[in-house]
Amino acid sequence: MIEFKTTENLLELEQILALQAENIPVNLTEVDKKEQGFVTVQHDLAILKNMHEVHAHSIATCKGNVIGYALSMSKKFRGEIAVLAPMFTEIDNSIKSDSNYIIMGQVCIGKEYRGKGVFRGLYAKMRDAFTATYDCIITEIDALNIRSINAHKAVGFEELVRYDYNNQTWVVVYMDI
């Protein structure tokens, strides 16, 4: 039975980091990256905890273990993760610049739970948690991560802007909530 909830303790944050580590590009084959997707940023426990203290993260659990997550990141963290700074600049220059938005800092589902509605459930949980506070959810995706781009489109995200940074093309997407 899969449960959708928000993070409550350090163990859940540690399980997020373990799932994240399994899905960073250096730990995946080229086939896995292409067919299953990947995560780009590797967080440390301190930043993940700081983000959680501002807004709890949405997680999916099964038998008490985190099997998927969608990180919640306030604009307050725009200077904390260097690789995300260009995304904030692009948002500042976009049609959503005046929106009261929350950043979905990263989404990941354990391999054995993919294709079972966990992605959709995580975003439903996030939308429910923030609909009274924010206008939209914004995130960015490596343009090579076709699985993630298609999954975001399927749950209602629209492209805001594409930009190049550090030899990568990024797709910034949003979903009004």
Instruction: Give the residue extent of every domain in the chain.
Output: 2-176
Find out whether 49 and 10 touch, Cβ atoms under 8 Å: yes
Task: Kindly report whether the global pTM for this prediction surpasses the value 0.85.
Answer: yes
CB atoms within 10 A of CB 28: 18
Tens place of pLDDT per residue across the chain (177 aa): 999 999 999 999 999 999 999 888 677 778 887 767 777 778 899 999 999 999 999 999 999 999 999 999 999 998 888 888 999 999 999 988 889 999 998 999 999 999 999 999 999 999 999 999 999 999 999 998 898 999 999 999 999 999 999 899 999 999 999
Domain covering 2-176 in this structure, CATH number: 3.40.630.30
